[in-house]
Amino acid sequence: SPYHSAITRTTQSVASGSELFASYGHGWIPTIPDVAVTLDEHLDDADAFMMQYDEWVQQMRARHPTELDDGHIERLWRLMKSFPQPRSASFSVLPHEEWSVVQQRQAAQRKEQQGQQQQMASNESKRQSSTSRHFIEKKGRRSLEWLQQYGKCQDHMHPDDSTLPHAGRGAFATRDLPKGTIVGYAPLIHIAKQGKDLLEVPHDGVRNSEPKSHEHTKPDLVTNYSFGHRNSTVLLTPYGGIVNYINHNPNPSSINVRIQWPDRELIAHKPDWLQQDVEFLANANENIGLSFDYVATRDIGQGEEIFMDYGPEWEAAWNRHVAQWQPPLDSASYVHSSQYERPRYFLTEEELEQDPYPPNLRTMCYESFRKKQAGSQMNNVLYSYLPVVRPTDHRVHCTVLQRHRTSSSSSSSHTYTVQLRSRSSEHVVVSGFEESAIFLYDTAFSQDWHLTGAFRHKLFVPDDMWPESWNNLV
């Protein structure tokens, strides 16, 4: 797969030991009781509420100096946090600390805000002066000593091209790793019973009641990264960093890592799950309670590739696949888009008749255009390209009709007249398209991993760690 080496960058300064957070979008936020929903709008709402509560406390103490003591204020604070509220998401981010601690932070916040009145507050200064954000960040920070004892290091491995022929990419040791080192860690998504059906996907992406002769179904690619056992329907799919790059090696002396269950309870690992049956796992399908540690079985040198044993059943299946493999009829002309070296410019429809792109590639364009002003419409071209301010993943099929050399100082040496199919299925001719707004894409389901005979097989958990209570196929 060409989908690798994506980089995640920090958007602000991060103190050592701090938890890392990313935005998954408003639509992702789940409704889970007692779980903080840390969207900016809720954090701002919580800050405003605490400011109002603080002002009310000051007013009540001025009116009733002898009747309203700290105990009353604290009990009222706890009551409001626990009382059912229509704005539950905003109240979910209120600090768990006592009000006296929050009040001290409120006083510091007021001083910070007074200092910002001389200048327009930036998002960074707003974040630093926020009471709700302050306590969330404090709660999400661990000391380096704590991390040394309980943490799981995520940079013991890095991906690179595997030393095994045709294996694609692999995992390599970032540093010397002594025997017994936990070189990787991954929570597991478990499927108890219906894994075969859930992971069976149609080749064309549509399930029809009467499939056409050229359509077929096959196991999803995630099957190749999922673990199971010959005597069970349970499937376990790791989603930790780098661990899915670890390849199988048929040479036993090259294997240097094995999976094992963590030796203590974690947020994503509950040891008692290993004593439960498959029915329990089926009913716990909305929870994560299982994880793998990837442990060095011998000393591993810096730069050495990490290998594990996928199990004898997997190796036998792979050897059968290799022995029986027949390449597709069009394999000689296939070039994935990530490996295709296209000409210096995009070819027109007429040029492609003489020198076509590989048959699995086609052009797609940003759907960004506007109607030309009256008097500027030439050759019945009614629309011109509208430069994209914020790049988007939405693109539509398009055909290059003409190419025009440009003498401007822009990075594009050519502009194009294209015909694109808009979201309304209307065919629109647009002039002035920049090269940066045109792309070569693989046609749907043309990649190697979508081939009818592409290899699909689960990995196997060793017998000595597989719970007998999960064996429901014996």
pLDDT tens track for 231-249? 999 999 999 889 999 999 9
For the chain, helix (H) and strand (E) counts, in that order, are: 11, 19
pLDDT per residue as tens digits for the range 194-234: 887 888 877 654 434 444 555 678 888 899 999 999 999 99
Question: How many CA atoms are closer than 13 Å to the CA of 256, on its beta-carbon side?
Answer: 23
Place of tokens 């002039």: 431
Q: Show the beta-strand stretches assigned E in 354-457.
A: 361-366, 369-371, 383-385, 395-405, 414-421, 427-434, 438-442
- pLDDT of residue 120 exceeding 50, the answer is no
Higher-confidence residue of 454 and 112: namely 454
User: 289 is written with which tokens?
Assistant: 């309670």
Summarize the confidence of residues 251-263 as an average pLDDT: 97
Residue 136, SS3 per DSSP: helix
Res 252: pLDDT: 95
- pLDDT of residue 471 exceeding 50, the answer is yes
Place of tokens 């960040």: 137
DSSP 319: H
Res 260: pLDDT: 97
Do 343 and 414 touch, CB atoms closer than 8 A? no
Res 374: pLDDT: 59
- pLDDT of residue 375 exceeding 60, the answer is no
Q: Helix 131-139 and helix 99-116: axis angle, to 10°?
A: 120
Query: Measured between alpha carbons, how far is 327 from 386 in angstroms, rounded to an integer?
Result: 43
Res 287: pLDDT: 87
298-313 burial, b if ≥16 CB within 10 A, otherwise e?
eebeeeebbbbbbbee
Place of tokens 């499927």: 191
DSSP 214: T
Look up residue 275 and give its amino acid. Answer: Q
Do 190 and 308 touch, CB atoms closer than 8 A? no
Question: How many CA atoms are closer than 13 Å to the CA of 233, on its beta-carbon side?
Answer: 16
Look up residue 228 and give its amino acid. Answer: G
Look up residue 279 and give its amino acid. Answer: E
Query: Measured between alpha carbons, how far is 331 from 43 in angstroms, rounded to an integer?
Result: 55
Q: pLDDT class for 354, splitting at 50, 70, 90?
A: very high
Res 353: pLDDT: 94
Res 205: pLDDT: 43
Res 278: pLDDT: 96
Which residues face 248 on adjacent strands? 308
DSSP 300: B
Q: pLDDT class for 469, splitting at 50, 70, 90?
A: very high
Query: Measured between alpha carbons, how far is 200 from 42 in angstroms, rounded to an integer?
Result: 40
Residues 6 or more apart whose CB falls under 8 angstroms from that of 291 comprise 185, 186, 187, 188, 261, 262, 266, 268, 269
Q: pLDDT class for 192, splitting at 50, 70, 90?
A: very high
pLDDT per residue as tens digits for the range 124-183: 555 556 888 888 888 888 888 988 888 889 899 999 999 999 888 999 999 999 999 999
Least confident span in 55-64, 108-117, 333-342: 108-117
Least confident span in 23-27, 261-265, 410-414: 410-414
**Could you give the maximum distance between any two Cα atoms of the chain, in Å?**
94
Higher-confidence residue of 39 and 172: namely 172
Question: How many CA atoms are closer than 13 Å to the CA of 251, on its beta-carbon side?
Answer: 5
User: 191 is written with which tokens?
Assistant: 């499927």
State how far the alpha carbon of 206 is from the alpha carbons of 211, 215, 217, 450, in Å: 9, 9, 10, 14
Higher-confidence residue of 42 and 322: namely 322
Work out the mean pLDDT of the chain and round it to a whole number. Answer: 85
Query: Measured between alpha carbons, how far is 232 from 209 in angstroms, rounded to an integer?
Result: 30
Closest CA to 165 of 241, 256, 258, 250: 250
Res 195: pLDDT: 80
- pLDDT of residue 21 exceeding 70, the answer is yes
DSSP string for 327-370: --TTGGG---TTT----SSPPPHHHHHHSPPPTTEEEEEE--EE
Higher-confidence residue of 342 and 158: namely 158
User: 421 is written with which tokens?
Assistant: 């199919």
- pLDDT of residue 119 exceeding 60, the answer is no
Residue 464, SS3 per DSSP: helix
- pLDDT of residue 184 exceeding 90, the answer is yes
State how far the alpha carbon of 337 is from the alpha carbons of 354, 357, 359, in Å: 20, 10, 11
Summarize the confidence of residues 74-95 as an average pLDDT: 78
Q: How far is CA 71 from the centre of its chain?
A: 46
* CB-neighbour burial class of residue 324 (10 A; exposed 0-12, middle 13-18, buried 19+): exposed
Do 306 and 257 touch, CB atoms closer than 8 A? yes
Summarize the confidence of residues 381-394 as an average pLDDT: 83
Res 210: pLDDT: 47
Query: Measured between alpha carbons, how far is 190 from 287 in angstroms, rounded to an integer?
Result: 9
